Amino acid sequence: MNAPVKPSKLIKGATGDWEIVIGLEVHAQVTSNAKLFSGASTAFGGAPNDHVSLVDAAMPGMLPVINEECVAQAVRTGLGLNAKINLKSTFDRKNYFYPDLPQGYQISQFKSPVVGEGVVSVELPDGDSIAVGIERLHLEQDAGKLLHDQHPTMSFVDLNRSGVALMEIVSRPDMRTSAQAQAYVSKLRTILRYLGTCDGDMEKGNLRADVNVSVRRPGEPFGTRCEIKNVNSIRFIGQAIEFEARRQIGILEDGGAIEQETRLYDPNRGETRSMRSKEEAHDYRYFPDPDLLPLELTAAYVDELKAGLPELPDAKRERFMAAFALTPYDASVLVAERESADFYEAVLAGLADKTRDGKLAANWVINELFGRLNKEGQDISASPVSAEQLAAIVDLIGEGTISGKIAKDLFEIVWTKGGDPRALVDSLGMKQVTDLGAIEKVVDGIIAANPDKVAQVKDKPAMLGWFVGQVMKSSGGKVNPQAVNDLLKSKLGI
């Protein structure tokens, strides 16, 4: 059970506070070369109908054959979601008129999905975390695409996607704010990418969510929900929830009732609108697909897949936190992408003293490097500063050769011109002056030149800052500010 949501996260209605309840059905395209029941390619971007086998086109007499790799990917995903793997599952026909799925039914898993209950832990930017229950994960076929803009009087159909394997991952209604739902989808995407079971590319539609939203008074039973279909960006998921919750609150506060229905989010108008009234399971006339035997797995097969899994984000996060005292949120930023985590690990590997500087290195990766990459709209694979270079900069700070402030200038030089940071510090004379004698000379000079200020500082200790500033300025920022402070205090007798 998650802690109750803070009152500040509730929505203030005209008649009191409301709580949002959210459950997501995420469709994730399985990473595999071939479709779920045919050998046709899943490559993105082919000419329309380039990747269509006779099975996908539903030619009479064609029979589906399960693609073992898709099953393995679903099992890996289930393991990554800490979920129960069902050693026996079945495929059903979900009957419907789909102009873009010529079979006239979708092969899906209704009663017995391949993956059962699991749980995902989700970290939020404010430092909280919640557990989101997974109800099930099942395999199903994707449909094709209708093209209405190619001809003045006809619609065309592109079946390239028809039959591609999808995993539908159904959450429990465990989320209470739009930020939680967004963080859940990000976390899910992170896990899928680590596992290599879905590329998580929302722009291509490879990950999309049906967003179920209802509202209630805190502590009351769940209200009636509406399902917003096929939302394909994390930003839109947040916007759709906020709009939909307020729409429902408006109806309820006017004394109306919510009708369960399927809605669409229109990002241009920032609103949801009704698509159809909700259909029930019995409307689909589900029945076991007679062309497919039940899917039976052995425990040994599942164990083998488990042994082959990479280290997952939660384990990595815990490891970073334990070793370098990182905050949970900083650690979750580092592990959000496998490439970023790998980069941080490469920086760690390059450090002279990991124990001393592991946390400093995390700050530099997150604040300076990620900050700069974000500003430039680049990702880590295009970073002009390598892990070795960043490790060298962190070493130089950690050992006291340069100050954090000078390190920022050095970072800028390495970013724009490249080069070996240690050699640059030498050739550009960026070394921090640690020689107390040299600092003392500067301090003495400034005291001698400003007798009036010296007289004032005894009554106004805040003026010490002025002296520190002068010393820093005349040394080009290369002296240790703490050493300057101490020296000035003793010389000025304050």
Residues near ligand ADP (CB under 6 A) are 21-25, 170-173, 212-214, 222-223, 225
Residues 68, 51: Cα–Cα separation, whole Å: 19
Q: How far is the CB of 203 from ligand ADP (least distance, A)?
A: 23
Query: Smallest gap, in angstroms, from Cβ of residue 338 to ligand ADP?
Result: 27
Residue with smaller CB distance to ligand ADP, 139 or 369: 139
d(C-alpha 367, C-alpha 381), whole Å: 17
Nearest distance from C-beta of residue 291 to ligand ADP, angstroms: 24
Strands (E), 142-248: 145-147, 156-158, 165-171, 207-216, 226-231
The H or E element containing residue 189 is: helix 178-195
Q: How far is the CB of 326 from ligand ADP (least distance, A)?
A: 32
The length of the chain in residues reads 494
Rank residues 20 and 36 by Cβ distance to ligand ADP and give the closer one.
20
User: Which residue in this structure is represented by tokens 């500067």?
Assistant: 442
Residue 214 vs 403, nearer CB to ligand ADP: 214
Measured distance CA(73)–CA(305) in Å, rounded: 9
Task: State the minimum distance, in angstroms, from the CB of residue 105 to ligand ADP.
Answer: 17
Measured from the CB of residue 260, what is the shortest distance to ligand ADP in angstroms? Answer: 9
Structure tokens at 484: 């300057």
Task: Report in angstroms how near the CB of residue 277 gets to ligand ADP at its nearest.
Answer: 12
Nearest residue (CB) to ligand ADP, 236 versus 344: 236
Q: Which helix (H) or strand (E) holds 483?
A: helix 481-492
Dihedrals phi, psi of 313, to nearest 5 degrees = -55, -40
Q: Where are the alpha helices (DSSP H) in 33-92?
A: 68-80
* Residue of this chain nearest to ligand ADP (CB atom): 23
Q: Quick one: which of 336, 339, 355, 428 has its CA closest to 394?
A: 355
Give the C-alpha separation, 125 to 80, whole Å.
23
Residue (31 or 214) nearer to ligand ADP, CB: 214
Q: How far is the CB of 164 from ligand ADP (least distance, A)?
A: 21
Comparison of 20 and 471: residue with beta carbon closer to ligand ADP: 20
Query: Which tokens in the block code for residue 255?
Result: 């004394």
Q: CA-based Rg of the chain, rounded to a whole angstrom?
A: 30
Please identify, using beta-carbon distances, which residue of 24 and 472 lies nearer to ligand ADP. Answer: 24
Q: Which is nearer to ligand ADP, 160 or 182 (CB)?
A: 182
Question: What whole-number distance in Å separates Cα of residue 284 and Cα of residue 180?
Answer: 32
Strand partners, 92: 108, 288
Smallest gap from residue 302 Cβ to ligand ADP (A)? 25
402 DSSP 8-state letter: S
Specify the residue, 73 or 214, whose C-beta has the smaller distance to ligand ADP: 214
Is residue 81 within 8 Å of residue 118, measured between CB atoms?
yes
Residue closer to ligand ADP, measured from CB, 121 or 485: 121
Give me 299's structure tokens: 């425990």
The least CB distance from residue 172 to ligand ADP, in Å, is 5
CB of 49 to ligand ADP, least distance (A): 31
263: β partners: 228, 274
**Residues 335 and 343 sit within 8 Å (Cβ to Cβ):** no
Number of neighbouring beta carbons within 10 Å of residue 487: 21
Burial of 280: CB neighbours in 10 Å, binned 0-12, 13-18, 19+: exposed
For ligand ADP, give the closer residue by CB, 31 or 177: 177
Strand residue runs (E) in 267-399: 271-277, 287-288, 295-296
